[in-house]
């Protein structure tokens, strides 16, 4: 078996590993490949892995300048997606964006396109879809409570939720009667 000689002491030995900044950038790019993220989310991931704040700030600034991090775009996409697929109301959307580290002014701008009528329409769609599968009896307190609770968990105002449920319940009773 041959052994390798030790490196010469006269030649400089280079450990050409990636710098901490390059490692942080690679991590951020990997995270952004999976889905869009806010600056705060990326900063949290970097901090969790022990990157110093100055390295994180430089990397995040470069990614922001390159257009890979855009909290306002993230917020708009989040609102559109969560309203369409999960049926979330303004209150729930704002809370979700806050947990993602989005600033309040960016949240307000992303939610400004949702007015009360649009929110009510979405609540009516959700209740209508659920009511189709419900068995209606003489006393609909249980159904009403269940549907109002569903809307409340999705961030709809309780009084609006109750009004929508009672209106849709009356319409469903009339539809089934015919």
Question: Over the chain (178 residues), what is each successive 10-residue block's mean pLDDT?
Answer: 60 61 93 93 94 92 93 94 91 94 94 89 92 76 90 93 92 78
**Does the residue 14 lie in any domain?**
no
**Of 111, 129, 133, 109, nearest to 121 (Cα)?**
129
Whether 96 is in a domain gets the answer yes
| Domain count for the chain | 3
Same domain, 64 and 78: no
Residue 81 lies in a domain: yes
Q: Are residues 37 and 90 in the same domain?
A: no
Domain limits at 125? 116-177
Same domain for 137 and 155:
yes
Residue 9 lies in a domain: no
Q: What is the predicted pLDDT for the residue at 20?
A: 86
User: Residue 8 domain-assigned?
Assistant: no
Shared domain for 61 and 78, answered yes or no, is: no
Query: 122 and 154, same structural domain?
Result: yes
Does residue 126 belong to any structural domain of this protein? yes
Instruction: Examine the domain organization and report whether 76 and 64 are in the same domain.
Output: no
Phi and psi (nearest 5°) for 68? Answer: -85, -20
Q: What percent of the chain has pLDDT over 70?
A: 89
1 lies in a domain?
A: no
Same domain, 121 and 171: yes
Measured at the CA of 87, the angle between CA 41 and CA 175, to 5 degrees, comes to 175
Instruction: Please check whether residues 92 and 122 belong to one and the same domain.
Output: no
Q: Express each pLDDT in 100-137 by its tens digit.
A: 999 999 999 999 988 889 899 999 999 999 888 877 77
pLDDT of residue 142: 85
Q: Tell me, yes or no, whether 5 lies in a domain.
A: no
């Amino acid at each position: 078996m041959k052994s390798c000689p030790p490196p010469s002491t006269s030649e400089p030995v280079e450990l050409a590993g990636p710098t901490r900044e390059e490692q942080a950038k690679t991590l951020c790019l990997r995270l952004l490949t999976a889905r869009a993220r806010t600056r705060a989310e990326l900063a949290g991931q970097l901090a969790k892995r022990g990157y110093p704040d100055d390295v994180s700030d430089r990397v995040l600034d470069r990614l922001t300048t390159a257009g890979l991090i855009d909290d306002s775009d993230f917020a708009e996409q989040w609102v559109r997606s969560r309203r369409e697929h999960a049926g979330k109301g303004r209150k729930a959307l704002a809370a979700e964006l806050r947990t993602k580290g989005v600033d309040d002014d960016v949240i307000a701008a992303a939610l400004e396109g949702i007015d009360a009528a649009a929110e009510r329409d979405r609540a009516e769609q959700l209740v209508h879809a659920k009511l189709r599968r419900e068995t209606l009896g003489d006393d609909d307190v249980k159904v009403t409570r269940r549907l109002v609770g569903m809307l409340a968990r999705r961030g709809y105002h309780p009084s609006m939720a109750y009004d929508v449920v009672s209106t849709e319940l009356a319409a469903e009773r009339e539809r089934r009667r015919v």
